[in-house]
């Protein structure tokens, strides 16, 4: 059996398992779950607002990356998951730093406004400068 036909069998088996599980979970018949390509299923659902929507599920058997010698470096799902987790951690760290910077700026701006108000309130008590004379 060729590598491509083995991969096709694996993908089709995975899609059948997904189709059965989705069908049971959402109480959908086989006719309601649409096979839209050799590797995709489309599932009709109702969203939180009561509107109709679709979920598109894709299944693939990744070969990996080309190695430059006509072959592939095999795909490693564990490494891909670690890379994705590092990406999420980096995004979260940037978001936290941005929020901290924003909070610090808001606090500094509030302090400046309070200082200006205090100076303005203090200056309002004197209608004239000391060297001016009212006539």
Q: What mean pLDDT comes out for the span 89-94?
A: 96
Q: How confident is the model at residue 126 (pLDDT cuts 50, 70, 90)?
A: low
pLDDT above 80 (res 119): no
Question: Which residue did the predictor score with more confidence, 119 or 79?
Answer: 79
Strand ranges (E), 32-133? 34-37, 40-46, 52-58, 64-66, 72-74
pLDDT tens-place string over residues 44-65: 999 999 999 999 999 999 988 8
Give the angle 76-82-88 at the CA atoms, nearest 5°.
135
Using only C-alpha atoms, the chain has a radius of gyration, in whole angstroms, of 32
Q: How confident is the model at residue 127 (pLDDT cuts 50, 70, 90)?
A: low
Looking at residue 102, its pLDDT comes to: 95
Looking at residue 71, its pLDDT comes to: 87
The span from the CA of 98 to the CA of 75, in Å, is 35
Closest to 18 (Cα-Cα) out of 38, 40, 46, 47 = 40
Report residue 72 as tokens. Answer: 């592939």
């Amino acid at each position: 059996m060729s590598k491509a036909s083995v991969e096709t069998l694996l993908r089709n088996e995975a899609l059948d398992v997904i189709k059965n599980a989705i069908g049971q979970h959402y109480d959908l018949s086989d006719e309601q779950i649409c096979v839209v390509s050799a590797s995709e299923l489309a599932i009709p659902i109702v969203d939180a607002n009561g509107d109709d929507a679709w979920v598109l599920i894709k299944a693939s058997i990744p070969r990996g990356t080309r190695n430059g010698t006509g072959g592939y470096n095999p795909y490693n799902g564990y490494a891909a998951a670690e890379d994705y987790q590092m990406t999420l951690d980096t995004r979260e760290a940037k978001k936290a730093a941005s929020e901290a910077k924003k909070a610090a700026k808001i606090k500094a701006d509030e302090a400046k406004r309070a200082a200006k108000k205090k100076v303005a309130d203090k200056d309002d008590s004197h209608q004239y400068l000391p060297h001016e004379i009212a006539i």
